[in-house]
Amino acid sequence: MATATLARQIGRAITKATNSTGSGNGWFSPHMAAASRAIAERIPLVDLVLEVRDARIPLSSAYDQLRNYTSSSKRIIVMNKMDLANHSQLKDWMKYFEQKNCISYGVNAHNKESIQQLLNFLQARVRELKKVDHSSHTTTILLVGIPNVGKSALANSLHRIGRISAAEKGKLKHATVSPQPGETKNITGLKIASHPSIYVLDTPGVLPPHILDDEVCTKLALTGTIQDCFAGEKELAQCFLSILNRSDEYKKWAKLSNSENERSFANRNIECSTSSEMGMKRKRQYPTDHTQDFVVHDVRRTLFEVISSFDGNVEDERLIEEEFKAMHAAFQVPLESEHYAQNKITAKLLNLFRTGRLGHYILDSIPRKL
């Protein structure tokens, strides 16, 4: 089944699920509506606006409230989670934004060096602005974006690195961070620099009340912005596999196949047989943890072998069926219940995709020039 067809099906499923919640929309809660109004009131009052996007979906993760925001000098598009995105494609996106007269910056909120570079960039930007208006007041930077793009993680990291750089003492403040979208409830101010004095305001993630584009809905669900319950985990896992099958990512795993894989299994068996009883217990727990390196190794190898040996079009839905069957052994999921096994496999696949263990992707295409 073509990826576009799967995306449309998932998009329609999301629309149907949200409309059946009784409130008219499953994600645009009264809390989100209130946050949207509060953010709109603050945008004209701050010195800079950092629009945080997911680097894997540079367009689909755009913040709708900034659609008509015209001050390009005050707005910076920060593409977070760059460690999960295809690096060469991300460079192309940076060039695209530059051509659109938009300031953009790629960052990994969990990497100290990346945060330090962003902080240096922001401080330089603030100094440039102060040369223009000659003001000495504290600079405020508003972090805005849709849910689950990493605004709070970014705010916390800037706060922590900024305080270390300024050698400040005292208790660190923390914005709430969660893998689940919608955890930030209030606007929180955190100091990130002293010379000049800079504060960031972390805000709740806000989605528009309605998303009409089915493919955008699907991309938001794949990256975890829209909760899985609206789209269906199995359908999302199928969509990811369809994307993988058409990409070159799986070809990077060719070296994991055949003789090298057999040697690794032999080495692991030797290690298990010579370890202590406590060590053996710990080893026996590993296969159930899909984040262990050797499990990820087996998943990559299995996917490479299934895709490479498939005699047909990679868009054929039979390939996805074969991949799901092969995942039983790769994830070592018991066959007690087919429904249970499917749920386990889909959850593990999505987690490995979302954490970058099964390749690096950018799901949006750069718009063509008209």
What whole-number distance in Å separates Cα of residue 149 and Cα of residue 129? 27
Token pair recorded at residue 91: 């460079």
Q: Identify whether the C-beta of residue 315 lies closer than 8 Å to the C-beta of residue 1.
A: yes
What whole-number distance in Å separates Cα of residue 3 and Cα of residue 25? 26
Query: What letter does residue 178 receive in the DSSP assignment?
Result: -
Q: Identify whether the C-beta of residue 67 lies closer than 8 Å to the C-beta of residue 151.
A: no
What whole-number distance in Å separates Cα of residue 136 and Cα of residue 362? 41
Q: How many CB atoms lie within 10 A of CB 144?
A: 27
pLDDT 10s digit of each residue in the chain, 370 long?
567 788 888 888 887 777 655 444 567 778 888 999 999 999 999 999 999 999 999 999 999 989 877 667 799 999 999 999 999 999 999 999 999 999 999 999 999 999 999 999 999 999 988 887 767 789 999 999 999 999 999 999 999 998 876 555 555 455 554 455 445 557 889 999 988 899 999 999 999 988 889 999 999 999 999 989 888 999 999 999 999 999 999 999 999 986 455 555 445 554 444 444 545 444 454 667 888 999 999 999 999 999 999 999 998 999 999 999 999 999 988 877 788 889 999 999 999 999 999 999 999 999 987 5
What whole-number distance in Å separates Cα of residue 81 and Cα of residue 86? 11
Strand partners, 191: 199
pTM: 0.86
User: Three-state DSSP class for 180?
Assistant: coil
Token pair recorded at residue 226: 């829209």
